[in-house]
Every structure is written in structure tokens, then in C-alpha cells.
Chain A
Amino acid sequence: MISEPRLYGAAIVAMVLSALLMYLVPLIPQVVIDGVLLESGEGPSSFERFILSLLGGSEFVGRNLWWPGLVILFLSVLAGAFAYFRGAFSAKATERIVQRMRDNLYQKLQRAPVGFIDRSETGDLIQRCTSDVDTVRIFLSAQVVEVARAIAMLIVPLPFMLLISPVMTLASIVFLPVIVIFAFFYFKRIRVAFLDVDEAEADLTSTVQENISGIRVVRAFAQQEQECEKFDGRNGRHRDLDNHLYRVLAWFWSISDLMCMSQKIIVVGLGLVLLGLGHLEVGAFFFFLTVVSMFVWPIRQMGRILADLGKAQVALGRIGHVLEQPEESHGETGVELARESLAGAISFRGVTFSHPESDPVLHDISFEVAAGSTIALVGPSGCGKSTIINLLMRFYEPDEGSIELDGIRLSEIDRTSLRSNLSVVMQEPFLYSRSLMDNLAMGRDGAEEREIVEATTVASIHDSIMEFEEGYSTVVGERGLTLSGGQRQRLSIARALLRDPAVLVLDDALSAVDTKTERAILAALKDRKHRHTTILIAHRLTTVMQADEVLVLDEGRIVDRGSHDELLKRQGIYRRFWDIQHKGMDSLNDDSSGDSA
């Protein structure tokens, strides 16, 4: 495969050749007019005689006027072929670079630590991966090429022009610097107008977005008219700014057109004078007129593109910021865990953790979970329960202390191997927009249907799936069926079970499941207890009461621990939660003791 720099080099060569040929085309009618058709005047210059001799001499051309016509066509086709090569080569190199950029970005997003994603806004990241990449693509494939073409178009004909008439050459380029400088500075100055419109449009978009996602609230408060007014204000502002931009551009195009026209007027004016004085041939005049029309427009574009270069630079910087992020170490020479010999004992020793530049989330956390047992974490929201899971999964690394699995420090275990043996189900689980079967099979490649049904049965979701028209082939997510929160949770539990993990973590993963189903799932999980260690996080205390040990967390510390019964006796925070949640129990027990055993 040819390297990209070589492709660009080839594109430049093709571009120069194409420009050269394009200028030869107007040269043909010039020499024919001056050397063959026109009897008056001084006769052709030596250069024109040279070209004419290449065509077969004035005698031959005069007798066969179809011949120069054919040469014009031939040269055009050849110029076109080189122009095509220029486009094809530069596109090939650019698209390759861009694809590599896209792939690297995706890989980076997959491999960067979770913390980076957490700190970033999704929309912003996506913009970096799509529209910023596109800006770079346009820069490479169009803008660089445009500027190079403008320069080639200007430089290539210069020797010919100088040969024919140095005075006319000077007249042909005298106004160009003004055109470029005007375009450059004008666009620099009106960048604000572009930014204003972009901003107003973003404003408009977020107004619509909010209105639609909050449409129920809008209706519930009968605020349609106020919302319309709010929208009208932003819509009007956007129109005015956009209209202003059009006006600013109208001035630019008309003034720069006037400048380009002036350049042509200078050529025509001086040319006519020289023509009148007999210092210039008609054919040469035609040549200069054509050449000026050919390079004046690309040169005008050049100023505008140069002013726009800042955009590409900003986009590159934004892409670079993502690509610079460190990756989670993968394939490091860590311990590979073998599932068969893995028991699933966990120990936290003096673990402290804080997010960058903020107060610690966890203080000196220590606990042990025996292999195959069930531990529950309870406490108010924000007390650090989920952080413990993040540390266990090595989404984050502890600041102090150590975490061990079967007596091996997590930091010594190969990250992929560690995660393959742990399964976490989150409160708001993520499903890929594919079929249910694909989502489940992601748990383990090559899982048999029997195993999948077994897992979905334990998670109490099999029957619901069978009720869907397309069963396990139902596509879910953005482009498919929207599942309820409870269904998503149950599906993810099934997915987690399929992995046959050594440690199963349910991080508030039953919150959207109704009580009856929850009990069924917990009971089924209990039957498989010997197969994995379980960590349960829940608000509902009835969920956690079967755990072998319950850890009560508050503000990042373990404030109490013990079995459900022990904790109930202690009159602490656990007892208080229990009482609040079970206020109604008394009335039930009063008239039916023994029924609820």
C-alpha cells in the first residue's frame, strides 16, 4: 500500500500537470488567431511561432483548422484526467487518515478509564468524534487542495505570461494581494457573526429538546402558550442573527466580486491600450484575459480558506485531547484468573477513595466476604455503596488500602480477566440496540439456548420475553422496543448470570421490579448460592435481609455491620430504616399473627 505522504505528493504532481495543461488550452486559439488568421499586426512572437511549429507550422494549421480544435479537446481531456488523479489521490490519503482517526477515537473511548467518560459530556464527546473529525476531513480533502490549487494556478502560467508580455503579467497580478488580504481579514472579522448564529441555533435546539422531553410537565401545567412565547423569542433572535450573517456575506461577495472584476478591468484596459499601440497581439490579449479569469476566483477562495484554518486547528486540538487520554492498561502481565479454581472471596483493607479535587467518598473501608456468601450494602444515597463496586471492578483505583480477590491484590490481576469473572447489574442497565438474544449472548459467547433460557428463568424474564411477538429476536433500545425499567433490570440479571461469574453484584438492580417478582428472583438466586459470591445493594430492606452480613454505610464509612437480626436488635440507623419501611406491619400482625411467617 502506498503511504499517505506519497499519495499527497502524487496528488500535487497531478495538480501541477493539470494546471499546466489547462493553460495550454487557451494558448492554442491564441497562436492560431495571431499566427494564422490575423494578417495585420506584427505577426506572432517567437514563443507563439514555437507553439505553432509544434502544431505543424502555420501552413499546415491554416489548411487543417480542425486540427487545433482537436488538440484543444485532447489537452482538455488530459488536463481532466490529471485533475481526476489529483482528486482521487488526495481523497484516498485523506479518507484513510480520517478512518484511522475514527477508529482510534472509538478505541480510546472504549479503553479510557471510566472516570474520563464520567467527567465528560456525552454530546461533547460525540461532537469531537463526528463533526470535529469532519472538519479535519474537509480541511484535508478540500481546503488544503483548494489552496494548493490556487497557488499552482497562479505559478504555472507565470513563465508563459512573462514570455509573452512582462507588462501584462504585472497588470494581471497587481490586484491579487488586495483580494487575498481583503478576504482573509473580512472573514476573520465576521467569524463572530458565524459563532452568533451557531450559538443561537444551539439555543433553539436545546429549547425544543427541553420542551419535548418535558412535554408532560408543560401540559400538566398548561404552559403551552408560555413555551411558544419562549420559543418565539429564541426563534426570532436566530432569524435576525442569521439574516445579519447573510447581509455581512452579501457585502463580502459583492466587494470581492468587484475586486476580481477590477483585476479583469485592469487587464482589459491595459490590454486594449497595448493593442491599440500595436505592442500586443489580439491572441495574446485573449490569452491574458482567459488566464486572469482562471486564477482570480481560486485566489479569492484562498483568502477565505486561510481565514477558516483556525477551525481545523481547534477541531484537531479537541480530537487530540481525547486521543491523549491514558488507557486502562490491557494485556499487561497480570495474573490470569481461572474460573474453575476461583472461589470468590473478597477483602477490602483500609480502602480510601476520592474523586480528583474533591472530598473522599470512602474512608478506611475494611470488610471480608467469604466465598459463596452474600453480603448486602445499605445506606442513604450518596453514602459510597456504588463506589465500592466501581473499585471492585477497577473502574477506579483506590487512593489507599488494598482490595483482594481470593487473596490476590486486584492491581496484580489482569484487568480483562478480573472483569470476566465479576458481573455487575446496575440500577439503570444499558442494553445495546440489538435483539434480546444478542444482548443476552453478550454475557458469554457461544452460550447454548438451554443455558440462556435457564438464566432468563432465574431472572423471571423468560415468560415476558415469550409474550413479545418476536420473542428472543425482539430488537430493543433506541431503534426497537422500549422495555420498562424492571424488564431491563431483569434482562441484565439474566445476562450477568450467563457469565457464570465468581462474584455477582446487584447494584440496586431490583429497584424497578415489583415485590412479588423480586422475591422469586431472590429465591432462585439463593438456590444457586454455592456458585458465586453475591453483593447486594438495595433501598428496600426486605431485599437484603437474607444476606449473611449487612454493612450499613453512611457518608463513606461503615457505621454498623452484622446479620439482619443482629442489626434489628441494635436500635441503630438500620433499625430506624426498618421501622419506617414497616410501619404498616403492625396492623397486619395484629390480626393475623402466624400468617406471615
Chain B
Amino acid sequence: MLSALIAVFRIANWLNWIMAALFAFLGLLLLIDPSHFRDMFMEAFTDRAESDAVFQWLLWSCLMGLPVAAAVHVILTRLVAMIRDTQAGAAFSESNAKRLTTIAWALLAINMVDLAYGQLSVWASAVSGEYFGWAPSLTGWFTVPLLLVLARLFREGAAMREDLEGTV
């Protein structure tokens, strides 16, 4: 079960980087030859400001994908390490507490990027008249303090385990 979970997370991380590479490639194309894309958007949007907004939205979306991919990588690799420790019978350890804290900060980073992406989408939607689909969500924001509390519990658990190891 846990080994299967490790495999799933590893595959997810590979997909994460493949998607990041695709976004980076598209972002690079947008930067190298912006006029080509602007002209392309002009065919769909009559107004120059509208097509510019779509271009900016696409470019920044591609750029925002990179820090998110890095954060997802941090989360998935830490999760794999935690599962490995659990398999070895050391779930409650100081290192796992640190990993949970790292995951919490990575999730916070994703939430921040999502917020910025939301602002960008709202702006692009307003300018272009095209809906760029973003809705605020509190789930991610609630998860960050939850993970920090969980990390604290892991630290307490690790201390208790250490005490228990010295009990005869």
C-alpha cells in the first residue's frame, strides 16, 4: 500500500515536471516571438487591449507554473521521504516534523501564486471580456496552519517516542 503510494507520488512528480517544461516552453515561445502570438490573438479579439490582456495572461500563467512546479516537487519528495520513514517504523521523528513544516511553507507558496494568478485572471477577464476561470478557495489556506499544527504534533510524538526508548 505505502510502496504503491510512493510510486504514485513519483509518477505525479514526473508529470508535474513534464507540465512545467511544457509551460516553460510555451512561455519561452511567447517571449521569443511575441508579435506572432499578438497577431494570432488579434484574429480572435478585435481590440488591441483585449488581445494584449490575453497575451499577458498566457505569458504570466506560464511563468507562474514554474514556482508552482518547484513547490509541488518539494511537497511530493517530502511526502515520499515521510512514507519511507513510516515504512521503516519511524513515523514520529524530528525529520518528519521538519518535512511537514516544509510542505506547509510550499503549500503557502502555491496559495500565494494562486492568489496572484487569480488577480491576473480577474484583470484579464475584465479587459478582454473573456472568462479566465478562477475562483478563490479557502481550502489551501486552511491546510497551511493545519500542517503546521500537525508538524508540532509530530515533534511532540518524536519527543515521546525518544522518552519511551529510554524507558525500561
A binds B: no
Give A contacts to B, CB under 8 Å: none
